[in-house]
Chain A
Amino acid sequence: MADYHEMWAGLGLDLKTHDMLLEIVGKGYTDVFLSQKNRPKGMEYFDFVMSEVHGLRIKEILDAKAEGRKVIGTYCVFVPEELVLAIDGVCIGLCAGAEFGFEEAEKFLPRNTCSLIKSAFGFKLGKVCPYVESADMIVGENTCDGKKKAYESFKDIVNDLYVMDLPQMKSPEGRSLLKAEYKKFAQRLEEMSGKKITVESLKKGIEIANNKRKAIHRLSALRAAELSPISGLDGLLANQIFFYDDPIRFTNSVNAVCDELEVRIKEGVGVFPKDTPRVLISGCPMAVPNWKLPFIIENSNAVIVGEEMCTGERGTQNLVNTNANSVDELIDNIVDRYFQIDCAVFTPNPGRLEHIKEMVKKYKADGVIHYGLQFCQPYQMESKILEKELETAGIPVLLIETDYSQEDAGQIKTRVDAFVERIQK
């Protein structure tokens, strides 16, 4: 990696702490990803992206800014990337996946706040996230109570926080609210960029985002193969990088991996032995570098065949219909897609249960491991209902409640080991 210290200093990062963080994440990446056997060759691209995650990608973003393009940071799959692309902006999913700066974060947040929220604050307060520092605007969204209230203090510590309201029920009123919010957001993007969203520019944005999703759909479908051609960790990694890589390059790289996987499937090459128990993971999002649970699972004689999460199929499923003649109609199509996201902040949320069942079938999973972040009420509450419903339907479930610390890895390993023994045929 080139020396980026000057660039980081320019962004106001705390260089010493940032160096330390990069070292830890780099080591974690080596242990978790590079130690895997028989990885597809195409994953080298993702290794490269990860090795340059705070380097080359930030340089690209800063170059884009220099060309007058706007950089929008987001924390949620409800923020429509299509609209950002329509003003030729750069949409970046901000990561919040490490236990970092929690002490500082707790000056703003109660201790019983989930790790994801604390991490978002920690990265900002610790001045270690070049993405947050490069963003022209950060979009917060009213999902859970934790995030909603946290944005009230977050707005004082970041440059330009824009909060988007979200519905909580899948009713006609809920849909109207979402449409109104998307229109407002579109207007704000036009104002800040000085660019008008046209039918043409929005269609182009939709097409780019759709292609990115299609590539991930293709990858997911290949993971249904009896002999898993790619590990769940690598599958998750692609889903994580989805949020901040250049969308077109990302799409091409995922498709290249898929080409390779198709050959692997034809030739009967897999990353795990035949009949390795297959697990679907479901629950809270796993932002980079949150790999603890998947790493434990795939080192316990099981393979992850799908992710029912925001960093997975909940975030990427469904496409936006491009068939429309006006910007308003296109926004309607965008709303149609996003309104289907079955996030646990909705009540009731029966679609998620159905989606999990469908994924279990599609990817031939032997069981579901539910990942609930400690203090994440919506997902924790839903997990109890899901467990009951899925077990009744004959699908074994393991509920894991954890946070970003490493201290419970042993206890989680015991549970996962026992669960894998349970689902083994």
Chain B
Amino acid sequence: MISAGIDIGSRTIKLVLVENGQIIEFRKAENSFDTLKVCSSLLEGLSYDSITSTGYGRYLFDEYLKCNVISEIKAFALGAKFVHPECRSVLDIGGQDTKAISLDANGKMKKFEMNDKCAAGTGRFLEIMAMTLRYTLDEFGMRALAAKDSLSINSMCTVFAESEVISMVARGADRAGIAKGIHQSIVSRSIALLKRIGMEGTVVFAGGVAYNKCIVQLLEEQLQAEIFVPEQPQLIGALGAALAGN
């Protein structure tokens, strides 16, 4: 039996097919104004027995194609457990949301915390800050990683942080140092979420932001815990959805 999982995020749509406990196919595409069109092109040419949706657009997809629906929290919990069976804590930083999830020994969700309703401290925040500093997203993380000092950013609101960064640039502050400070602010916020769920053991770090080496390193240093980044961190939600339908 082939089970499909589709994770409709605010920035990216991810698709995973699972058969006999193995990932047999995965695809991803940037989300657009026409979410359903992106979904149908992702699904093109694929056959499967069941499909489960998750993510921001999960109900939209359900209206379009009757399917199972699960929250992204459950999806990330299932996906993380699959890629790292001993997993007890999950951090997911996506485009719009940051979530920390704790699991019991059986992989059942114990507690979760999410960021406040704005996009502060999420992938979207990183993107906007990279743009403000005229870096590409990749360059942004690399420069921050290489920076010696971290200049502290106090505003977590995307709009205020942008003006703060602009005024730091105007004062002649080191660009890479500002970049590191921005990364640090996201890390501090994520650690606070992880503490609130009573994190333990290795943290599975998923979502698009897990590609960012600087965030991973800062998390490792400050949490003093092992951070496990799956090979395809962005697909964990879609994987979890596929597993839920299995």
Mark A residues whose CB is within 8 Å of B.
Answer: 391, 396, 401-402, 407-408, 410-411, 414-415, 417-418, 421-422
Contact = CB atoms under 8 A, between A and B. Distances in A.
Contacts, number: 36
A246 B43 CA distance: 59
Nearest to A397: B111
B117 A414 contact: no
Interface string B47-67: 000000000100000000000
A411 B110 CA distance: 20
B56 A418 contact: no
B191 interface: no
A421 B111 CA distance: 11
Contacts of A401: 116
B72 A414 contact: yes
B109 A418 contact: yes
B114 A414 contact: yes
Given A401-B116, A421-B109, 7 more contacts: A410-B56, A414-B72, A415-B114, A417-B70, A421-B71, A421-B73, A422-B112
B28 interface: no
Contacts of B189: none
A166 B201 CA distance: 49
A415 B100 CA distance: 12
B11 interface: no
A418 B74 contact: yes
B162 interface: no
Interface centre among A407, A408, A410, A418 (most CB of B within 10 A): A418
A390 to B, nearest CB: 12
Interface string B173-216: 00000000000000000000000000000000000000000000
B7 interface: no
Given A391-B111, A411-B117, A415-B114, A421 B74 contact: yes
10 contacts: A402-B117, A408-B117, A411-B97, A414-B97, A415-B112, A418-B72, A418-B73, A418-B112, A421-B109, A422-B110
Interface in B57-104: 70-74, 97
> Closest 5 interchain pairs by CB?
A418-B73, A417-B71, A418-B71, A408-B117, A421-B74
Q: Is the interface of A mostly helix, strand, loop or mixed?
A: helix
Nearest to A401: B116
A1 B209 CA distance: 56
Chain B interface mostly helix, strand, loop or mixed? Answer: mixed
Nearest to B244: A421
A341 B246 CA distance: 50
Contacts of A391: 111
Contacts of B114: 411, 414-415
Nearest to B73: A418
Contacts of A411: 97, 114, 117
Nearest to B55: A414
A384 to B, nearest CB: 10
Contacts of A415: 112, 114
A414 B73 contact: yes
B44 to A, nearest CB: 28
A396 B104 CA distance: 14
Contacts of B111: 391, 396, 422
Contacts of A408: 117
Nearest to A422: B109
A396 B197 CA distance: 12
A411 B116 CA distance: 9
A376 to B, nearest CB: 15
Contacts of B117: 402, 407-408, 411
Contacts of A414: 56, 71-73, 97, 114
A401 B117 CA distance: 9
A294 to B, nearest CB: 18
A415 B109 CA distance: 13
A414 B101 CA distance: 14
A396 B116 CA distance: 20
A410 B73 CA distance: 14
B243 to A, nearest CB: 14
Contacts of A410: 56
Contacts of A417: 70-71, 73
A415 B115 CA distance: 11
A391 B102 CA distance: 14
Contacts of B116: 401
B7 to A, nearest CB: 13
Given A391-B111, A414-B97, A414-B114, A421 B56 contact: no
